[in-house]
Structure 1
Amino acid sequence: MSNAVWAKSRHFLFYVCGENVRILLRDLSKLDSLKIRRREVVRVLRRRLGKIGEVLSIEMDPEIIVEICPYVDAACCHKLIERLDDRIGEIMSRPLHPKLLQSLLGISSQERLRWTKDGRLPRSRNINFRRGRVVSIASYPIDVALEISNNPSVVEGWRRCDCEKGLF
């Protein structure tokens, strides 16, 4: 079984494994930000890589491993790989909407609103859309949310502080 590099991109390495190509994420620290949007990532991988070859499997634990049986060689796939890379980069850096943040941190909407208002949860920007009137929703930076989710004592400390103040 050969492990020659078939192609490279910003986020992925493509290795030849027998008749197939195995695709690995270059930076495993980015895996958590992709796991949050797992369904979207799998859909993008299937759609983009389906143009290169038959997608045999997609695994995301403990790393992203995609196996494809390519129709063409790597030189013909440069543009497709570049577009895949851009799309995955956009997914990794996109801010979280409130529901996703709440499920990631295991907090209620009241806690999210209170902690956003007093500055403990930083906002990245507001998303505005029209639904009869203009509705504005805060979005949250993914890196800060992942940092907090990896350290559950932060949320517990905030809850304890709120309890002492009589807010909870």
Structure 2
Amino acid sequence: MKALDERSRCATLEECDDGYRLTSRIPRDATLGSRMRAKELRRIIGRMIRHAKPLSLVANEHEVSAVFDGSEPEANIKRLLSDLNRRVDEFRRERLHPRVVDELLEISSRERRRWIKDGRLPISGSASFRRGKQDIHFPLHPPDRIARLAQAPDIIAEWRERDRVGTRDIDLRSSQVSG
């Protein structure tokens, strides 16, 4: 097999017996190690490749691979490769949903809400969805800052300790008031 495009950041394009094989890896720096984000990125990549009508498409936990007919113009396949790179780059910058933040930081939703409220956890916007007649709003988080927090578990441990000590102080004061 001869590599046709060495410049791609997230995929390779090679000639094979059936035509062209495009293999798109699920980059860890795009998913930040989140299983939820990896699943979403696999879905996005798979949809883009399916839209190009490959002969076959196979996805696993780490990559999506497709074979395209040899009569398909190489320029079309390279355009798909370029589009995949662009979309993965966009995905890297997408703000994070609260559940992804919970997964990445290994925190509870209660901790996340408390840390947002007191300003410890960064927010970069909000989104909403409609449930019946009610609009549900939730915060979105900057991926770069959450990734740095995920790499510093000592900060999370310190926050938890601060909350534990703070809660104990509140409990002592409330017993003194009622007592």
TM range (shorter): 0.7 to 0.9
Q: CA deviation at 1:127?
A: 1.8
Q: Deviations over 1:28-75 (max 9, x none)?
A: 6335267541222222222211215234433444xxx43321122321
- Secondary structure of the residue aligned to 1:107 is coil
Distance 1:7 1:139 in 2: 35
Equivalent residue for 1:66? 64
Instruction: Tell me the equivalent position of 2:39.
Output: 39
Task: Give the aligned partner of residue 75 of structure 1.
Answer: 75
Distance (Å, rounded) in 2 between the aligned partners of 1:138 and 1:98: 7
Amino acid at match of 2:145: V
Q: Does 1:136 align with 2:137?
A: yes
Mapped partners of 2:49, 2:34: distance in 1: 17
Q: Mark the CA change 1:35 to 1:23 in structure 2 (over 3 Å): closer, same or farther.
A: farther
Residue 133 of structure 1: how far off its partner (Å):
4.8
TM-score (structure 1 length as normaliser)? 0.75
Counterpart amino acid of residue 90 in structure 1: E
Q: Which runs of 5+ in 1 are unaligned?
A: none
Q: CA deviation at 1:119?
A: 1.5
With over 3 angstroms needed to count, the CA separation of the structure-2 counterparts of 1:31 and 1:130, relative to structure 1, is closer
* Distance change in 2, residues 1:102/1:85 (3 Å): same
Cα contact 2:46–2:64 (8 A) shared by 1: no
Distance verdict in 2 for CA 1:66–1:126, change over 3 Å: closer
1:123 Cα deviation from its structure 2 partner: 0.2
- Structure whose residues are more often helix by fraction: 2
- Aligned residue runs from structure 1 range 117-132, under 5 A: 117-131=117-131, 132=133
Contact 1:127 / 1:136 at 8 angstroms: preserved in 2?
yes
Aligned residues: 163
Shift of 1:6: 3.8
Give the superposition deviation at 1:78: 4.5
Structure 2 distance, partners of 1:22, 1:42, is 14
Q: Tell me the CA shift for residue 106 of structure 1.
A: 1.9
Against the structure 1 CA distance between its residues 47 and 133, is the aligned structure 2 distance closer, same or farther, given a 3 Å change threshold?
Answer: closer
User: Which protein shows a greater Rg?
Assistant: 2
Unaligned runs of 5+ in 2: 171-179
- The change in CA–CA distance for 1:121 and 1:56 in structure 2 (over 3 A counts) is same
Note the C-alpha offset of 1:130. Answer: 5.0
- The alpha carbon displacement at 1:126 in A equals 1.8
Per-residue CA deviation, residues 3-26 of structure 1 (Å, 9 max, x unaligned), is 4234755x4342316435243559
